[in-house]
Amino acid sequence: MSQLSFNEVSLVYPPRDRHAASQLVLDRVTVSLTTGEFVVVIGRSGSGKTSLLNLAAGFLEPTGGTVKLDGKTVEGPGAERAVVFQDDALYPWLDARDNVAFPLRLKGVGERERRARADELLELVGLSAAGKRRVWELSGGMRQRVGIARALAAEPRFLLLDEPLGALDALTRSRMQTFLLDVWAKSRSGALLITHSIDEALLLATRIVVLSPNPGRLAADITSSFTADILAGTPANVVRSSPAFKRLHDDVTGFINSVTREEELAA
Ligand SMILES: Nc1ncnc2c1ncn2[C@@H]1O[C@H](COP(=O)(O)OP(=O)(O)OP(=O)(O)O)[C@@H](O)[C@H]1O
């Protein structure tokens, strides 16, 4: 089992120009996740969600505190933490299979093995027939699935997902939520996903982390159990209609809004 932890993490962005002030974006955030968990981070715009994910990815360094992977301070990006953004950023000059195989090429894996592994991953994401297609021949949902397959190619311990479904239409998004859970469960990795959707957070998370804005602070860390129902095949609309789902939806909404009221009172 692996653990990714934020320990009293603060982040200050320097002033954008000489007239601006520096900005405290995250204030002493302590939270951790282990492989086998699906942690969803939610909070108002500007609460530092993407900054938190970029710290986990090693794209940013904290100003205070530490980000650790299995007790070792994260000092930069690494193959054990794969990132998927909203804009999949596939390589347009490669077909779907070569996009998926790309991280393996970087690792020096031979061509035959690369292709075999990429084909397995394409099958996992339901795209075994699309390996030869170019990026522009894929729909938005297919592109995101190729992006997720590519992220899985290096067998990461953690998947860091920044609004990966945000650009998809409602129907595709709903299908992709179930798909994402399946992939996560099969990969036995840990997932850290950012979303603006409370509904998505409740359907996907084993834990929901709520950040308050200005500066981003940990407002709540709540266990959720609907993931198991979705993985067992219960349709999302049935899960949503349960009283327990509605109660947790209200609780999370309350955390996000109560934080806003406090902010307003303090302003
Ligand atoms: N590179 C940067 N330099 C300076 N300030 C930044 C930088 N990146 C983000 N910020 C600021 O930090 C704050 C938090 O941004 P961040 O993107 O982490 O929040 P978020 O919760 O992900 O927002 P959203 O939900 O709108 O995507 C915002 O006020 C943003 O303007």
pLDDT tens, residue by residue, 137-188: 888 888 888 998 898 888 899 999 999 888 778 888 888 888 889 889 988 8
Please identify, by atom number, the ligand 1 atom nearest to the C-alpha of residue 162.
22
Whole-model pTM: value is 0.90
Best residue among 13, 40, 211 to mutate for probing ligand 1, ranked by most atoms within 8 Å of CB: 13
- CA-nearest of 159, 151, 158, 176 to 90 is 151
Residues 13, 252, 86, 191: what is their CA dihedral angle, to the nearest 10 degrees? 90
Pocket-forming residues, ligand 1, beta carbon under 6 Å: 13, 16, 23, 25, 43, 45-51
Fill in the DSSP letter of residue 95: B
CA 121 to ligand 1 center in whole angstroms: 33
What is the pLDDT at residue 135?
87
Domain ranges of the chain: 90-155
Predicted confidence at residue 108, as pLDDT, reads 87
Which residue's alpha carbon is at the smallest distance from atom 13 of ligand 1? 46
Residue ID of nearest Cα to ligand 1 atom 4: 13
Which atom of ligand 1 is least distant from the CA of 13?
4
- Residue 237: in which H helix or E strand, if any? helix 236-240
| pLDDT value for 207 | 97
Instruction: State the DSSP code for 241.
Output: T
Edge to edge, the sheet with strand 72-73 lists 23-34, 3-13, 64-69, 72-73
- Which ligand 1 atom minimizes the distance to the CA of 53? 18
Is the ipTM reported for this complex over the cut 0.85?
yes
Residues of the chain with pLDDT under 50: none
**Considering only CA atoms, which residue is closest to atom 29 of ligand 1?**
46
Q: Quick one: angle between helices 140-153 and 96-106, nearest 10?
A: 20
**What is the pLDDT, as a whole number, of residue 264?**
61
**Cα 162 from Cα 176, distance rounded (Å):** 14
